Each structure stands twice: as C-alpha cells, then as structure tokens.
C-alpha cells in the first residue's frame, strides 16, 4: 500500500508513521528526517537546506522532489511505503503523479493550531538517532537521554514558538491546498488527531483498513 500522511507540523505524522511501519511492514520516508540527517553530516543538501529549515520555510520543491525520486527507487519500497511530510505543495504532488507513483490513501491528521504549539514546544528528539519524545505525553525513562541509544535529548531548533508559528503559516498557505487536491481524487481520509496518541492510532489504522 502506498500511503501519504498529511497534516500540520506536529500533528503526529511521525508518531503514526512508526505505528504503520510495524503494522504493514513497509518503510516510512520522512523528508524532514532525510534533510536533518544531511544537515548533521554537512552534505551539500544539508548546507542548501539549513537556512530554510531554521526559518520554518519549505526547502525548494526541486530539492525534495529529487530526494523522493531517488528514495522510492530503493528495494524496500517495492511493496509499498508511507510518505511522511511529502508532498507539501501542489507541485510536489504533481511530481509524484509525473513519476507514475500511484497513491492508495492519503491520511490527513487534523489538529488545531493551539494544540500544535504546546506539542512542539514539549517535543524532545535524540541528537543521534532522532527518536522522538514529549516531556508530558511520551517522556523518555530518565527525561534526559534516549531510551534507544542513550544519547542526549534536545529541542529541535525549528520547534521554537516563533518558528512554529511560521511553519503553521506556511502549512496553511502551501500544504493545506493538498487536502482538496486528494479529496477531488477520492483518496482522502480525515483522522481526528486532537486526543491521545492511542485514539489517533485507532482512527489511523481504521482508515488504512477501510
Ligand atoms: P518535518 O520534519 O517533516 O516537520 P513537520 O511536518 O513540521 O513534522 P513534525 O516532525 O514537526 O511533526 P509530526 O507531524 O511528525 O509530529 P510528531 O509525530 O513528531 O520537516 C521539517 C522541515 O523540513 C520543514 O519545515 C521544511 O523546512 C523541510 N521539509 C521537510 N519536508 C519537506 C517538503 N516535502 N518540502 C519542503 N520542505 C520540506 O508529534 C509532535 C509531538 O507531539 C511529539 O513530541 C509527539 O510525541 C507528540 N504527539 C504526537 N501525537 C500526539 C497526541 N495525539 N497527543 C499528544 N501528543 C502527541
């Protein structure tokens, strides 16, 4: 099954992607994670993307489209994949069509803006393996280090409240039009993402099984 997870920054796409990976045994592809990894490794892509990420802006379409084009050719995508954070603009969605990629379902996780701000200000991520936690909703065992690899937990630079507001503005302006784009194609499944993680997970899995 080829899936897209749509939703505002902090709606819980990454959290639900982890669950679907285990449920369907298909890979999750997060353009955000790929770009952050390039930043850590100081590759050409990372250096190009840094200023956009730090400002809460989108990385140019041609850059992320090239990333996805290459990633989808890998063997583990043969039986399906979950796109987390791509597409984020109508030209990116059109690029998927142009690649001949058939999307089965688009799951749109809806959460109000006010909730997003508290979720992202409490998020902590592992500086080495990128595992994601939340100080209230999903704390690590000691609150300071990663349960998986023991490295330090940090706050993502773009989770600062001012940058979150800009990311939300960009989301409403450039990504929200994709809701209509996929609704018109009969692919859209809306999931209420306001409540606990387990509640969103139930609705997400139900949408996949529908
Ligand atoms: P990216 O990493 O994709 O950021 P995002 O979409 O803003 O997604 P987030 O990781 O912030 O949120 P999420 O929805 O995955 O939420 P999560 O599950 O972590 O992109 C970063 C940047 O890269 C972009 O700003 C852009 O510059 C660039 N970029 C990436 N893709 C691009 C593209 N296609 N085109 C152009 N530029 C691109 O949850 C958030 C927190 O809430 C966590 O702490 C979690 O534990 C907690 N939580 C989750 N669900 C719940 C719940 N139900 N109740 C309580 N807490 C919850």
Q: Which of 37-51, 73-87, 117-131 has the highest mean pLDDT?
A: 73-87
In a domain, 150, yes or no: no
In a domain, 123, yes or no: no
For residue 31, the enclosing domain spans: 2-112+160-209
Catalytic residue list contains 185? no
* Angle at 172 (CA atoms; ends 196, 49), nearest 5 degrees: 95
Region 85-92 average pLDDT: 98
Give the orientation angle of helix 197-209 with respect to helix 13-24, to 10 degrees. Answer: 50
In a domain, 151, yes or no: no
Rounded to whole angstroms, how far apart are CA atoms 46 and 29? 17
In a domain, 62, yes or no: yes
CATH code: domain of residue 186: 3.40.50.300
Residue 72 pLDDT exceeds 90: yes
Any ligand 1 atom below 6 A from CB of 196: yes
Give residue 9 CA to ligand 1 midpoint distance, Å: 4
Region 32-56 average pLDDT: 91
Catalytic residue list contains 88? yes
Region 46-56 average pLDDT: 91
Residues 45 and 63 sit within 8 Å (Cβ to Cβ): yes
In a domain, 31, yes or no: yes
Region 53-59 average pLDDT: 94
Catalytic residue list contains 13? yes
Q: Where does the pLDDT of residue 130 fall: very low under 50, low under 70, confident under 90, or very high at 90 and above?
A: confident
In a domain, 135, yes or no: no
Torsion angles phi and psi, residue 74, rounded to 5: -70, 150
How many domains are there within the chain? Answer: 1
> DSSP 3-state assignment of 101?
coil
pTM comes to 0.94
SS3 track for 105-157:
EEEEEECCHHHHHHHHHCEEEECCCCCEEECCCECCCCCCECCCCCCEEECCH
């Amino acid at each position: 099954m080829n899936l897209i997870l749509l939703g505002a920054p902090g709606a819980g796409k990454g959290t639900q992607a982890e669950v679907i990976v285990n449920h369907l045994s298909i890979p999750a592809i997060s353009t955000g994670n790929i770009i952050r990894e390039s930043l850590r490794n100081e590759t050409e892509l990372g250096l190009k993307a840094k200023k956009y990420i730090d400002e809460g802006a989108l990385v140019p379409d041609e850059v992320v489209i090239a990333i996805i084009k290459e990633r989808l050719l890998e063997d583990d995508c043969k039986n399906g994949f979950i796109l987390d954070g791509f597409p984020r603009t109508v030209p990116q969605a059109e690029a998927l069509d142009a690649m001949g990629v058939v999307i089965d379902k688009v799951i749109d996780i809806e959460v109000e803006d006010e909730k997003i701000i508290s979720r992202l200000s409490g998020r902590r991520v592992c500086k080495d393996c990128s595992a994601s936690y939340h100080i209230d909703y999903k704390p690590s065992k000691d609150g300071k280090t990663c349960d998986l690899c023991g490295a330090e937990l940090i706050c993502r630079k773009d989770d600062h409240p001012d940058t979150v507001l800009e990311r939300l503005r960009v989301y409403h302006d450039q990504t929200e039009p994709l809701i209509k784009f996929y609704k018109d194609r009969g692919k859209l499944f809306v999931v209420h993402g306001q409540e606990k993680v387990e509640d969103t997970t139930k609705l997400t899995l139900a949408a996949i099984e529908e």
